[in-house]
Chain A
Amino acid sequence: MLLNIGRLKVLSLMAALLLVSACESTPDGSSGSANSSGSRMGGKNGAGIESGALKNPNAKPGSVEDFVDNVGDRVWFGFDSAEVNEEGRATLDKQAAWLNEYSSVSITVEGHCDERGTREYNLALGQKRASSVKKYLIAAGVPASRVETVSYGKERPEATGSSEETWAQNRRGVSVIK
């Protein structure tokens, strides 16, 4: 698998996040967790995680960096699924808490798919993923007016190459601060 600099950064970031949340995550990390269903996840939920360590203590609170690094801007989905799994729900709980704290911030949730689907179907599936994230955030108290959605289908992969790992990384919902 070829890695470019930008992705290395993202991957090391993910790795760091995984260290932080190791008590509840599967050992195969971000890509494996994207495959997992909620039922695989056990363990305690993360009061300890929240107070554990800031991934990026230099990020200004309320900034984009703070959101991306210290909260986590994305969740992953299983193959052909738009269901937010347990790990994703933990991330979205943190996103909602952050968004409720910084109430002037609005986001666009981008829904993405892996390359193993047809064009139109993936556009529809990407939208279902983005909408799943939005629904969860609204249920967690974020006003609907602050959350937009957009689907990119399989058009904007995060990881390149054709393997189960890259496909798992690409099946994602990303909350982008506007």
Chain B
Amino acid sequence: MQPILRFLLICGLVLISHQAFAQKLRIDITQGVVEPIPIAITKMGGSDAVSARVGQDISKVIAQDLERSGLFKAIDPNSFVQDATSAHAAPRFPDWRVINAQGLVTGTVSPQGDGRLRVEFRLWDVFAEQQMNGMAYFTVPQNWRRIAHIVADAIYKRITGEEGYFDTRIVYISESGAENRRAKRLAIMDQDGENHRFLTDGRALILTPRFSPTLQEITYLAYYNNKPRVYLFNIDSGRQEVLGDFPGMTFAPRFSPDGKKVVFSLIEDGGDSNIFAMDLRTRRTNRLTNHPSINTAPSYSPDGSQVTFESDRGSSQQIYVMSSEGANPHRISFGSGRYGTPVWSPRGDLIAFTKQEGGQFYIGVMRPDGSGERLITQAFHAEGPTWAPNGRVLMFFKERPGSGGKTARLYSIDITGHNEREIVTPLDGSDPAWSPLIP
């Protein structure tokens, strides 16, 4: 619906009853195209210099988060009629309706005696003239970015009915140097690219990092001493350990949803790769596939009962699903072309994948039974989808050939296929993995 139509419709109905609009400010994000909702995000006021600056920064990051989702349009603060402080106490709703705001965010930041800040925000439905949400958070000033993301998640959830994904991090591979001896380092950042830091120095080749659901650990493939093996890395301690002691290459690791197991591929005699799972506590390894072919890129269903993976057992690379014990492996991809890198959505409803056909790469989704295949983006080379924790947004990477060499960049896109955006990284980036919401 066009905003102006929606505006007129809502104005007309407002005359009848305000009560009818208690739930009006709501986005159904399962629809293909959603017109961004105009939302006014006021500068959070502060009583001293530090809290005033933090308040301003928080408001800016909330606006950036919500805008990047593609579901919201932040209204230019220069057009605001009512000042932020009085709006937080009592919004004059006609002043916000006149600038076509459907939602209004107000807040304050106040210093506490212990050095912490108290951040309070309220979300208002301008047309229903009601407060939709109000929360207060206490934190040290350095933590202001997380507070902004948490508030943005609260707003997103209140209006869409879905969990947010702004208070999350991305682990990925930072790439630099010549194409034929590319340095690939493990790096981590907030989902908006902020707080970026490198976790390895680039001397060893690192690939396919994946978050543990507890967020304290990452698993990935590293080539130390030219021996490719799966490693575990503790973000807090910086400690790194090899996963198990296997004679051949281990690769393509991923944690189970409870974080207690890692599923991965192991090269066996003869060069075939089969899928195994290791219990991280007992260190016992279970075989999941036993087939003389390529079996790799395993990913658990969110309830842990099934595993999707790719295999060329039927001659071409295709996606399969089996039980988490390896029973009943069956192919689910039957479109034309090759299918790989299956990743189960945290909601359980879809499997995202990379498809190759006719010299092009696609990122797509299908249901776990293989039905409802939908391709959501296409490129010369697009690969490696990873799910936002709410199962509504994917991140992936694209490579482009260029005269100065190949480039690799990270992108996010709604599963509807809309709102594709680059996630800007300091160097080239590939193999992104999205964290769960930070607890």
CA distance A115 to B316 in the complex (A): 17
Q: Which residues of A contact B310 (CB under 8 A)?
A: 118, 120-121
Smallest CB gap from B269: residue in A = A131
Q: With both chains docked as a complex, state the minimum distance between the C-beta of B138 and any C-beta of chain A, in angstroms.
A: 43
Smallest CB gap from A116: residue in B = B356
Give the contacting residue for B340; candidates A82, A121, A156; CB below 8 A: A121
**B384 contacts chain A at the CB level, 8 A cutoff:** yes
The answer to whether A160 touches B406, judged by C-beta atoms less than 8 angstroms apart, is: yes
The answer to whether B228 touches A123, judged by C-beta atoms less than 8 angstroms apart, is: yes
Q: Which of A143-178 contact B (CB under 8 A)?
A: 149-151, 153, 155-162
Q: With both chains docked as a complex, state the minimum distance between the C-beta of A113 and any C-beta of chain B, in angstroms.
A: 12
Give the contacting residue for B226; candidates A2, A121, A150; CB below 8 A: A150
Q: Which residues of A contact B178 (CB under 8 A)?
A: 160
CA distance A150 to B267 in the complex (A): 10
Beta-carbon contacts of A130-141 to B below 8 Å, as 1s and 0s? 111011000000
Contact A120 to B180, CB < 8 A, known contacts A125-B294, A130-B271, A132-B271? no
The answer to whether A120 touches B271, judged by C-beta atoms less than 8 angstroms apart, is: no
The answer to whether A123 touches B249, judged by C-beta atoms less than 8 angstroms apart, is: yes
- Determine chain B's interface SS by DSSP, over half rule: strand
The answer to whether A120 touches B252, judged by C-beta atoms less than 8 angstroms apart, is: yes
Which interface class (under 10, 10 to 19, 20 to 34, 35 or more) fits A? 20 to 34
Q: With both chains docked as a complex, state the minimum distance between the C-beta of A78 and any C-beta of chain B, in angstroms.
A: 14
**A119 contacts chain B at the CB level, 8 A cutoff:** yes
Beta-carbon contacts of B252-291 to A below 8 Å, as 1s and 0s? 1000000000000101001111000000000000000000
**A85 contacts chain B at the CB level, 8 A cutoff:** no
CA distance A115 to B182 in the complex (A): 13
Beta-carbon contacts of A4-33 to B below 8 Å, as 1s and 0s? 000000000000000000000000000000
CA distance A149 to B271 in the complex (A): 9
Q: With both chains docked as a complex, state the minimum distance between the C-beta of B404 and any C-beta of chain A, in angstroms.
A: 9
**B168 contacts chain A at the CB level, 8 A cutoff:** no
**A124 contacts chain B at the CB level, 8 A cutoff:** yes
**B405 contacts chain A at the CB level, 8 A cutoff:** yes
The answer to whether A150 touches B228, judged by C-beta atoms less than 8 angstroms apart, is: yes
Beta-carbon contacts of B197-225 to A below 8 Å, as 1s and 0s? 00000000101100000000000010000
Contact A128 to B272, CB < 8 A, known contacts A116-B356, A120-B251? yes
Q: Which of A74-123 contact B (CB under 8 A)?
A: 80, 82, 108, 115-121, 123
Which 8 residue pairs across A and B have the least CB separation, nearest first? A131-B271, A162-B401, A118-B340, A124-B294, A160-B179, A120-B252, A124-B273, A120-B297
- Determine chain A's interface SS by DSSP, over half rule: mixed
The answer to whether A155 touches B182, judged by C-beta atoms less than 8 angstroms apart, is: yes
Chain B contributes a number of interface residues (CB within 8 A of A) equal to: 44
Beta-carbon contacts of B288-329 to A below 8 Å, as 1s and 0s? 000000111100000000000010100011000000000000
Q: Which residues of A contact B384 (CB under 8 A)?
A: 118-119
Smallest CB gap from A161: residue in B = B401
**B6 contacts chain A at the CB level, 8 A cutoff:** no
Give the contacting residue for A118; candidates B205, B271, B341; CB below 8 A: B341
**A35 contacts chain B at the CB level, 8 A cutoff:** no
**B431 contacts chain A at the CB level, 8 A cutoff:** yes
The answer to whether B182 touches A121, judged by C-beta atoms less than 8 angstroms apart, is: no
CA distance A118 to B207 in the complex (A): 12
**B18 contacts chain A at the CB level, 8 A cutoff:** no
**B354 contacts chain A at the CB level, 8 A cutoff:** yes
**A70 contacts chain B at the CB level, 8 A cutoff:** no
The answer to whether A124 touches B401, judged by C-beta atoms less than 8 angstroms apart, is: no
Q: Which residues of B contact A82 (CB under 8 A)?
A: 271
The answer to whether B381 touches A115, judged by C-beta atoms less than 8 angstroms apart, is: yes
Q: With both chains docked as a complex, state the minimum distance between the C-beta of B244 and any C-beta of chain A, in angstroms.
A: 17
Q: With both chains docked as a complex, state the minimum distance between the C-beta of B180 and any C-beta of chain A, in angstroms.
A: 5
The answer to whether B272 touches A123, judged by C-beta atoms less than 8 angstroms apart, is: no
